[in-house]
Amino acid sequence: MAAAQPQPVSHQNARIDVVVVGAGFAGLYLLHKLRGLGLHVKVFEQGGDVGGTWYWNRYPGARCDVESMQYSFSFDDKLQQEWNWSERYAPQPEILRYAGHVADRYDLRGDIQFNTTVKSAVFDERANRWTVTTSDGQATIAQHVVLATGCLSNARTPEFRGMKDFKGKVYHTGNWPHEPVDFTGLRVGVIGTGSSAIQSIPLIAEQASQLTVFQRTANFSVPARNAPLTDDERKSFRDNYPEIRRQAREDFKNGIVQPIPDRGALDDPEHERREKYHARWTSGGLTFMGVYNNLVLDQRANDTAADFIRERISEIVSDPETARLLQPTDHPVGSKRICVDTDYYATFNRSNVTLVDIKAHPIEQILPHAVRTGGKDYEVDALVLATGFDAMTGSVAKIDIRGRGGQTLNDKWAEGPRTYLGLMSAGFPNLFIVTGPGSPSVLSNMIVSIEQHVDWITDCLSYMRDRGAEVIEATHPAEDKWVAHVNEVAAGTLYPQANSWYMGANIPGKPQIFMPYIGGVGVYRQICNDVAAKDYEGFAMTVRARPKTKEAVAL
Ligand code: FAD
Ligand code: NAP
């Protein structure tokens, strides 16, 4: 393939060291850190403000599922001491306000260009520079590009026959309007029963005259037990933050501090096991999966937890057939991200809520005022698509990225994403990804993972500058080895058994490969640190071009 030619450009920026794509938590922290190195940074964000996930997902009930005292930045102690989270799981408007506060506190907005989508990034091998083109028709030349484009930022609307004929309003949870949506008196249909649906259904049910939930796959959900945070609770975190944050980074696979299990589920007699499950069910939250150390490793162990949740569902839901439909049976608990809810299952006891099984009878057609499935028409005035995202690779794939020899990243990833450490893909020099496929990312408290990646990238750029290195790229052997390792670790768990978005299974035609790294954030951090300590082992660096010669060195 011929080397990609740099496009004719109208230079927008005099000299940019780093272009960052995205102004969610990753983009914000990147900008702050890179500025600290004295670099010239330009951030492009397609949304109208900062916040990423929390800018787009404004559906009723949206809130975090990792407790706010942990789902927050740790890089500045003053910030974590001063910000007052109101609830155990802060609601979306509060998390968005936090992102805005971070932007203002560190004076970040001046270097962020909003309402601007990055369309392409082409590497010029002669100049060792990226040309980044944006939706405003401008081109920016930069030495480095960092994709902080998010793992769950490309909302997916499935193609239902007749959708364009629907006369009511259609909403996607991942791209919710900014103005309040009032369902009062309306017949509403929700398609999907993942985390977004599970959070929004109880609230939509309170407004709608009739709510019909179209479920293809039942999901495991545990009660959030959300509540206002007391001053004492906030204080106990704040007083112990250094140690809590250290533990999150190093001691816990998912970056969430919680009691450490000392045994497997089958090591306890049944009555003790049930007591432990009850205790976690009562305290609530994602950490239900941390009762035992083998729930995602051993099918029999997993069955005990899955049975426990299925029992709770049949206890809560009055109608036995509805309860049966809500009980997941086709995947191990935790092999899809477990959902965290407030009154989800109990909502199906309301007289205005109906559950429709679209696994047995897929949606045949959307009519102007109804959804047709199983030969029956369910009348609806509004539709909520809680149908998820083209996760982990979707937003990257939308950008036309061309690396060495003009190869596109989409071509390279046609059989599934290939990265070294989830940070870089061989053949695409000076292009970093934050929480990319092949890193723990979505299996973790993502702010822990974001901070780790941003710190690593910043340290790497600082190292390069100190040594006059102009280019860094993952080597093919290191990448091959890492991809094999990621697959091997996943294969030892129950995760690949589920048709999850972790596997790309929710997107027709997407290659099915387990994308995140299951090794855990602590192990992963250690690997990344070791790589850096060994002078960026597995990466090749090129020192600054001297006249007519270029010396490639594996540093
Ligand atoms: P994002 O927040 O997704 O930001 C990426 C930004 O890049 C977006 O604003 C997007 O518009 C922009 N962008 C993408 N492509 C382009 C382009 N081509 N040009 C310009 N801009 C572009 N994680 C947890 O750990 N705990 C939680 O409780 C939790 N709750 C969640 C709830 C919901 C509803 C969802 C959808 C996700 C949740 N997550 C949670 C995951 C969440 O995505 C991360 O925690 C985190 O917010 C990701 O930050 P980010 O900056 O990496 O990506
Ligand atoms: P999701 O988990 O992918 O759920 C999408 C739902 O839509 C699934 O029930 C899916 O069914 C259904 N669906 C998709 N295409 C369909 C089709 N063509 N026909 C019928 N049904 C279809 O998406 P999400 O709920 O938006 O959550 C995505 C991730 O975001 C979560 O896993 C989590 O990481 C994060 N999130 C977190 C929170 C939180 O609690 N903080 C809230 C929301 C989201 P199938 O399962 O059969 O594919």
- Supply the pLDDT for residue 544: 73
Q: Whose CA is nearest to atom 30 of ligand 1?
A: 64
Mutate which of 446, 449, 502, 521 for ligand 1 pocket (most atoms within 8 A of beta carbon): 446
Q: Whose CA is nearest to atom 6 of ligand 1?
A: 22
- What SS3 string covers 412-460? HCCCCCCCECCCECCCCCCEEECCCECECHHHCCHHHHHHHHHHHHHHH
Cα–ligand 1 centroid distance for 26 (angstroms):
8
CB 338 within 8 A of CB 256: no
N-terminal to C-terminal alpha carbon distance within the chain: 28
Point out the ligand nearest to the CA of residue 153.
Answer: 1
> Alpha-carbon distance 216 to 325, whole Å?
10
- Collapse the DSSP code of 5 into the 3-class scheme (helix H, G, I; strand E, B; otherwise coil) and give the result: coil
Mutate which of 195, 256, 510 for ligand 2 pocket (most atoms within 8 A of beta carbon): 195
b/e burial code for range 285-309 (CB count within 10 A of at least 16 → b):
bbbbbbbbbbbbebeebbbbbbebb
Cα–ligand 1 centroid distance for 153 (angstroms):
5
Of ligand 2's listed atoms, the one at least distance from the Cα of 63 is 41
Of ligand 1's listed atoms, the one at least distance from the Cα of 444 is 25
* pLDDT tens per residue across all 555 residues of the chain: 334 444 444 545 557 999 999 999 999 999 999 999 999 999 999 999 999 999 999 999 999 999 999 999 999 999 999 999 999 999 999 999 999 999 999 999 999 999 999 999 999 999 999 999 999 999 999 999 999 999 999 999 999 999 999 999 999 999 999 999 999 999 999 999 999 999 999 999 999 999 999 999 999 999 999 999 999 999 999 999 999 999 999 999 999 999 889 999 999 999 999 999 999 999 999 889 999 999 999 999 999 999 999 999 999 999 999 999 999 999 999 999 999 999 999 999 999 999 999 999 999 999 999 999 999 999 999 999 999 999 999 999 999 999 999 999 999 999 999 999 999 999 999 999 999 999 999 999 999 999 999 999 999 999 999 999 999 999 999 999 999 999 999 999 999 999 899 999 999 999 889 999 999 999 999 999 999 999 999 999 999 765 443 343 332
Beta bridge partners of 222: 340
Cα–ligand 2 centroid distance for 545 (angstroms):
48
> Alpha-carbon distance 28 to 199, whole Å?
27
> Alpha-carbon distance 255 to 545, whole Å?
41
Residues 83-96: tens digit of each pLDDT: 999 999 999 999 99
- Supply the pLDDT for residue 554: 33
State both tokens at 423. 């940070």
> Alpha-carbon distance 496 to 40, whole Å?
42
CB-defined site of ligand 1, < 6 Å:
21-27, 44-47, 52-53, 55, 57, 62, 64-66, 71, 117-118, 148-153, 196, 395, 398-399, 434-435, 445-446, 450
Mutate which of 152, 172, 384, 385 for ligand 1 pocket (most atoms within 8 A of beta carbon): 152
pTM confidence score: 0.96
- Supply the pLDDT for residue 15: 79
Cα–ligand 1 centroid distance for 380 (angstroms):
31
- Supply the pLDDT for residue 127: 96
Cα–ligand 1 centroid distance for 486 (angstroms):
23
Cα–ligand 2 centroid distance for 196 (angstroms):
6
- Within 10 Å of residue 226's Cβ, how many Cβ atoms? 18
DSSP state of 368: T
Cα-only R_g, the chain: 24
CB-defined site of ligand 2, < 6 Å:
64-65, 152, 158, 173, 191-197, 199, 216-217, 337, 340, 358, 386-389, 442, 501, 506
Beta-strand ranges (E) seen in 57-166 are 112-113, 118-124, 129-134, 139-147
Of ligand 1's listed atoms, the one at least distance from the Cα of 174 is 36
Q: Whose CA is nearest to atom 37 of ligand 2?
A: 195
Cα–ligand 2 centroid distance for 530 (angstroms):
36
Cα–ligand 2 centroid distance for 431 (angstroms):
29
> Alpha-carbon distance 285 to 259, whole Å?
13
- Within 10 Å of residue 235's Cβ, how many Cβ atoms? 10
Cα–ligand 2 centroid distance for 195 (angstroms):
6
Cα–ligand 2 centroid distance for 469 (angstroms):
43
